[in-house]
Structure 1
């Protein structure tokens, strides 16, 4: 299937776009630093992007993880006739199966993948615009396949223009909770759950120096990360899971992102924690953008305090923290763990696009699409999911 065939027609219930592309020029960069000014201009609140596509998140990922994985930056910038940037695609180029495929930068550490959009352009972007964009990527970079996975259907209330493309549901959904303006504590988390968690927290409050905090000082960030990287491998081993944080460059990437100051004074990754004077009881870290907090990684103590559900108590603090600051949504990362369902009553569907740009890429696209669908079937079947986990453990 060719690119043109893959991008035919829209759904009948969507408005008809102009068939002439608004994109007048496209540049492709292989050096992140060369595009920093444009990148930062598109990641502010006036435009549309997720915090997983921040420069200060993806630059350390590429330097410390992507380079070790052998992927090359492929950053695409599209402009209008006045050279105003319309979008930036932070991609990496992979080689395999005799083809060159383009993927979003950030790998498994980005829950959501999206372009950085000029907000006005995002509201009118058409299939003709996307055709022009992808044809240029094919011609200028020799890309055979676009593998755009884990994309949100919408962000900050605006549709993701890539949802105009043929797409399929990702293997995992993302448990999400939303906050209505003026919502009360019990509207966010039920009174019964709050009472149960407050009862457990009373046990923790008896510990000397017990506190909830968001780490802002470098020394606090280092102490909490030291605890995380000591505890998490043991927790994953208990579950028979591989330690993804031990992969080359990952720990350095996380430490760098957690200590990187954003232009607004925040951090590329925020760390929330429950602590006492003698113990790091629970750590939850994620990204925030003024509208939504998105969880990335977490762990909890190996001490006796673990029996008081410190992870759930910490989530309650995090929910209240962001709701009280006017945030509209919070997610706990992809996956259907039971603790997520306690807080998140909605499963947000995310989608994948596999677009062939050459005849050679068509077969690879079909394989990628089939593998993704098979993963979703397995995830939806408890029996198959359990079998897959046992097989992973056996082979490991």
Structure 2
């Protein structure tokens, strides 16, 4: 595909918008290779983005999973009058229910969704900028509704400008652990909790070669992922949950993302593990950006070592590791599983927006917003949640009780 074919440029022409907006032009790029240079520019230091929107992560998702889900790349770039990129939305375009829906790339594998932005633009972005962005998209055509879910209100103390659009709370919460600079270990995890984990860990420490490590080499990453993809399906089956890692393209996507090495030296996905000479005991993997770690997936051993809470012990080690690196926050993904609340006492404010661009999109946006509000109400009402579990069990006897999230598990 040529660059001319890959990029379809449209400029919002309304003079009033030019006076109130830095965005003078909106491009849509339908080819990853054409989008990559701009994308990497806006994820470099000095810009604003979450690690979930890195090209190495979402590019792998779009290549391996996008085509299987009939989702095509739809990368939106907002530029100023000098053609400098101010904002990039890594979107994918789907057709469903008779409308064309633009969503963030990554599907169920990203916890947070947000634009990549020039830092100056992010700090001053106004309603006029967002109006210009929508005008450019309408002029371009091809989309009926923007369905943007799981967006953080802020990132690195910068407000998310998309929160200026009408929005509602996301279906699930995201528990988060704040990590103040110089905080004592007991300020992050209580002494009593640490003592309980230390007592359990003594059983594991008796195993020859017991250690905690962050995977560094390609060989170590491959070994850990081979074990993960053997073990995770068994754990998911025990919990009577669908194995999302068995879906077409997912394993290739995960392996590509974990192998990708960033310019800063980090991996696009970092893998932490407890292991000994005889086996891998537990594994947690997630994304990090120098200030925050966010978990993506995990599992733990099928052996007797599982009796000693290796997942909790590994989580404590991860918290200590990133505290030493002067990180400011850590989360374990969306959902309110009990183990997450042991570590993460606060909630990250995240929101959804459903923005119509056409008349057909208006109906779809209203419907999706109503469905999201209903799911949020069920998730946050114990009585409704229990009712939903009973209904699901009656309709799908083998599916078991629902959980808030299936991509992390364990």
For residue 154 of structure 1, what is the aligned residue in structure 2? Answer: 154
Partner Cα distance (2:336, 2:210) in 1: 30
If the length of structure 1 is used for normalisation, what is the TM-score? 0.93
For residue 240 of structure 2, what is the aligned residue in structure 1? Answer: 240
Asked if the contact 1:18/1:126 (under 8 Å) is kept, the reply is no
For residue 163 of structure 2, what is the aligned residue in structure 1? Answer: 163
For residue 120 of structure 1, what is the aligned residue in structure 2? Answer: 120
Partner Cα distance (1:169, 1:212) in 2: 37
The 1:19/1:387 distance shift into structure 2, 3 A limit, reads farther
Alignment of 1:1-20 (within 5 A): 20=20
Superimposed CA distance per residue, residues 361-392 of structure 1 (whole angstroms, 9 cap, x where no aligned partner): 11111110011111111111234334434516
Shift of 1:21: 1.3
For residue 217 of structure 1, what is the aligned residue in structure 2? Answer: 217
Partner Cα distance (2:260, 2:234) in 1: 27
For residue 331 of structure 1, what is the aligned residue in structure 2? Answer: 331
Partner Cα distance (2:137, 2:131) in 1: 10
Q: Secondary structure at the match of 1:285?
A: strand
Superimposed CA distance per residue, residues 43-65 of structure 1 (whole angstroms, 9 cap, x where no aligned partner): 02211000000000000100001
Q: Secondary structure at the match of 1:63?
A: helix
Shift of 1:294: 0.2
Asked if the contact 2:24/2:132 (under 8 Å) is kept, the reply is no
In the alignment, structure 1 residue 76 sits paired with structure 2 residue 79: no
The 1:386/1:231 distance shift into structure 2, 3 A limit, reads farther
Partner Cα distance (2:332, 2:82) in 1: 41
Runs of at least 5 residues in structure 2 that lack an aligned partner in the other structure: 1-16, 400-410
Asked if the contact 2:240/2:398 (under 8 Å) is kept, the reply is no
Shift of 1:143: 0.9
Asked if the contact 1:232/1:299 (under 8 Å) is kept, the reply is yes
For residue 100 of structure 2, what is the aligned residue in structure 1? Answer: 100
Shift of 1:395: 7.0
Asked if the contact 1:152/1:160 (under 8 Å) is kept, the reply is yes
For residue 365 of structure 1, what is the aligned residue in structure 2? Answer: 365
Partner Cα distance (2:232, 2:63) in 1: 24
Q: Secondary structure at the match of 1:351?
A: strand
Partner Cα distance (2:229, 2:349) in 1: 31
Asked if the contact 2:25/2:136 (under 8 Å) is kept, the reply is no
| Segments ≥4 residues shifted beyond 6 Å | none
Partner Cα distance (1:335, 1:64) in 2: 26
Superimposed CA distance per residue, residues 2-38 of structure 1 (whole angstroms, 9 cap, x where no aligned partner): xxxxxxxxxxxxxxx9971111111110001102111
Q: Secondary structure at the match of 1:394?
A: coil
Runs of at least 5 residues in structure 1 that lack an aligned partner in the other structure: 1-16
Q: CA RMSD in A?
A: 1.4
Partner Cα distance (1:316, 1:66) in 2: 35
Partner Cα distance (2:184, 2:364) in 1: 50
In the alignment, structure 1 residue 175 sits paired with structure 2 residue 182: no
The 1:141/1:69 distance shift into structure 2, 3 A limit, reads same
In the alignment, structure 1 residue 88 sits paired with structure 2 residue 88: yes
Superimposed CA distance per residue, residues 161-180 of structure 1 (whole angstroms, 9 cap, x where no aligned partner): 01111100001110001111
In the alignment, structure 1 residue 26 sits paired with structure 2 residue 29: no
Once the two structures are overlaid, the 10-residue window that deviates more, 263-272 or 104-113, is 263-272
Asked if the contact 1:210/1:275 (under 8 Å) is kept, the reply is yes
- Provide the aligned length of Structure 1 versus Structure 2: 380
Shift of 1:115: 0.3
